[in-house]
Structure 1
Amino acid sequence: MAKGDFPSRRRNPKLRSVVALPRAGDVAQFTVHEINNLLAVIGSGLRLLESDAS
């Protein structure tokens, strides 16, 4: 085994990944997108409340 070569990182042709893990950038982009959607819904609800009040 070469230096820095960990057994868990070596490829085993018999084991295939069933689930691909998302990259950190993808998770961050998804999170920001969902927060943006939530803020848009809150803003829309506030506008509806303001229009009902007047």
Structure 2
Amino acid sequence: MQIAAFVSTLMMVGVITLPMELTIFGKRAAIVRNVSALGFSLIAAVVIGVVLK
């Protein structure tokens, strides 16, 4: 479950690309996208953990 959370968070949450997203999409959209991606990563990790048990 931890590896699933790590990999999905690594792919979906853009810390390095955040400055570019801030200029292109705006502050609110970039932050909402990253927070929702983090939430979805946690949900995906829990689902994978339940399926693998």
- TM-score in terms of structure 1 length: 0.46
Select the structure with the greater relative contact order (CA < 8 A; seq sep ≥ 6).
2
- TM-score in terms of structure 2 length: 0.47
Give the greater-gyration-radius structure (CA). 1
